[in-house]
Structure formats: C-alpha cells, structure tokens
C-alpha cells in the first residue's frame, strides 16, 4: 500500500499496512511511478483537493479510482475516456440510527478521533485559517458552550 501522509504519522501508518509513505509535500504521482512504473491498478482517495488529482494521476489506464469526496469531480475534469479509468464515488446518506451508534461508540471510547485542537465558537475564524493550511491530519473541534 502506498499512502500520502504527514511525515510525523508515517510510523503509525506503517502499523496499519502502509508500505510506502509519501509526504504530502511530494508529488504522489511521481512517487508512485518510481515504485510502480505503469501506475497502480486502483486507488482510494479520502483526502480530496490536490491529493485527489494526484491520486487519480497515479492510477494506470484501465484502473479503478474510488473517492468519498466528489465535490471537485466536474465534467471535463480528469476522468477522460482515453484513460478508461472507472471512477466510483461512495456516498453514505446519514441517518439517525447510524449517527446515534457513532455517538455511543465515541462515548464508550470505541472510536477515538485524533484531535488537533479545540476552539470556542468565538475562535471559528482562527480554526478556519488553521484548516486551510496544508498538512493538517487531525480533527478541529469547535465547541458551542
């Protein structure tokens, strides 16, 4: 498995099966092509933005590409017929039962999201500025207290 990642999380990623960790500031496509010259058979994008484009570029012609972040996918974009790549967009419609289960798991400690920083509602602009910077890998929390 090849994954774009923040350098400080590379070791943790290796424990999850990542064999080649590519720092976010390097070209994912170039790094992949150094390891797999013709490109990978398939890729999953969970990041979006520039990483989504780089991930797609790393897929070989005729491969598969899956994303959960379709907002950048526009007609005339990188999904060109000459590459014969099948894009798959995964969407999950939220429902109350699923959300309640997630809340329960959070309360029980079954799920433990990595939190970068917690902000008050008055600090929302500061949180937004931090979110715009590249390399953020943990969640930002805005409390309405």
Q: Helix, strand, coil shares of the chain as percentages rounded to 5?
A: 40, 25, 35
For the chain, the structural domain boundaries read 2-89, 96-143
Choose among 73, 45, 42, 46: nearest CA to 59.
42
pLDDT at 137 over 70: yes
What DSSP line would sit under 93-106, residue for residue?
---HHHHHHHHHHH
Over residues 115-135, the mean pLDDT reads 91
Q: What is the pLDDT of residue 127?
A: 94
Does CATH number 1.10.3720.10 belong to domain 2-89? no
> Does the pLDDT of residue 132 top 60, yes or no?
yes
Give residue-wise pLDDT tens across range 44-95. 887 777 777 788 888 998 888 887 765 555 543 455 566 777 777 777 777 8
The residues with which 84 forms a beta bridge, in sequence order, are none
Task: Give the integer Cα–Cα distance in Å for 84 and 107.
Answer: 45
Nearest to 59, CA basis, from 46, 78, 74: 78
For residue 61, CA distances in Å to 11, 12, 42, 53, 73 come to 31, 31, 10, 15, 18
Mean pLDDT taken over the chain = 83
**Higher pLDDT among residues 6 and 115, named by residue:** 115
Q: Report d(CA 36, CA 58) in Å as an integer.
A: 9
Residue 118 has pLDDT above 50, yes or no: yes
pTM (two decimals): 0.60
The more confidently predicted of residues 33 and 24 is: 33
Least confident of 24-28, 47-51, 52-56, 115-119: 47-51
């Amino acid at each position: 498995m090849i994954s774009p990642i923040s350098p400080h999380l590379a070791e943790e990623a290796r424990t999850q099966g990542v064999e080649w960790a590519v720092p976010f500031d390097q070209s994912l496509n170039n790094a992949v092509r150094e390891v797999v010259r013709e490109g990978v058979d398939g890729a999953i994008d969970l990041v979006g933005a520039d990483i989504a484009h780089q991930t797609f570029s790393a897929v070989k012609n005729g491969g598969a590409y899956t994303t959960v972040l379709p907002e950048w996918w526009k007609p005339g974009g990188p999904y060109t017929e000459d590459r014969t790549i099948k894009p798959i967009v995964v969407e999950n419609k939220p429902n109350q039962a699923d959300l309640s289960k997630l809340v329960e798991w959070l309360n029980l400690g079954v799920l433990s999201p990595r939190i970068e920083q917690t902000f008050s509602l008055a600090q929302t602009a500061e949180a937004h500025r931090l979110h715009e910077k590249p390399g953020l890998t943990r969640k930002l929390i805005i409390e309405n207290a």
